[in-house]
Amino acid sequence: MKTVLITGCSSGYGLETARYFHSRGWTVIATMRRPVAGLFPDSNRIRVLALDVTDPDSIADGIAAAGAIDVLVNNAGIGVVGAFEATPIAMIRDVFDTNVFGTLAMTQAVIPQMRERRSGTIINVTSSVCLASMPLAAAYTGSKTAVEGFTGSLAHELGAFGVRVKLVEPGYGPTTRFAENGTERVNGLIPPAYADFARPIFEAFAQPQATTQPLDVAKQVWRAAHDESDQLHFPAGADAVALAGPQ
């Protein structure tokens, strides 16, 4: 029986991915900063652990408690939407701390056991902002693009030890708590000088459109976890697939 550890499981993509793997017989270690009761069925194949990807001690404790991990899914992330000019550097550092350094720290923590076993898969969840440039998302895009570059390089580095590294790239998912968090961080980040530019963009995103659902992401994470080819990119959701083009 294989074990997957997933970060950011309190809602959205992480929660659905944890449920998806459990429903298919895997042991799931669902991590989140503040554990929430009642998210999963009672099962000896689901463990909920407190883990903050920005806290080295929390990471060390979580990895020690998890034991052997066959697949790591770096899903935890935060967003920010707004004019880059108006985005405080402290806020940008928070975004990079979770999205980039959190992913790097979690990955570094599991590499030794996977390298020694010469098996395992690391899956980093990024975004369709890496597939096409989008306005009012410069800081967030910077963080996710950093993860994409890191992942591509690491795939070569760890491939020599039988460890696979993959990217899952979700499209626009307004139904997730991540989107709500991003909306909270837009307050004050659209100064008057940008109002005319930003208005039609937000109006367009408010219209019905093809969007990515949590199950779309869960299915692509599952696919990436089982893929033994050299494929690196796994776009998730109809909009992301359209942006990515033929694979």
CA 78, chain centre distance (Å): 9
Alpha-carbon gap, residue 33 to 19, rounded angstroms? 18
Q: Which residue has the tokens 């139904």?
A: 175
Q: Which two tokens stand for residue 161?
A: 């030890």
Give the active site residues: 140
What is the Cα–Cα distance from 71 to 216, expressed in whole angstroms? 19
Cα 4 to Cα 14: distance, rounded to the nearest angstrom? 12
> Distances in Å between the alpha carbon of 165 and those of 83, 111, 172?
33, 11, 23
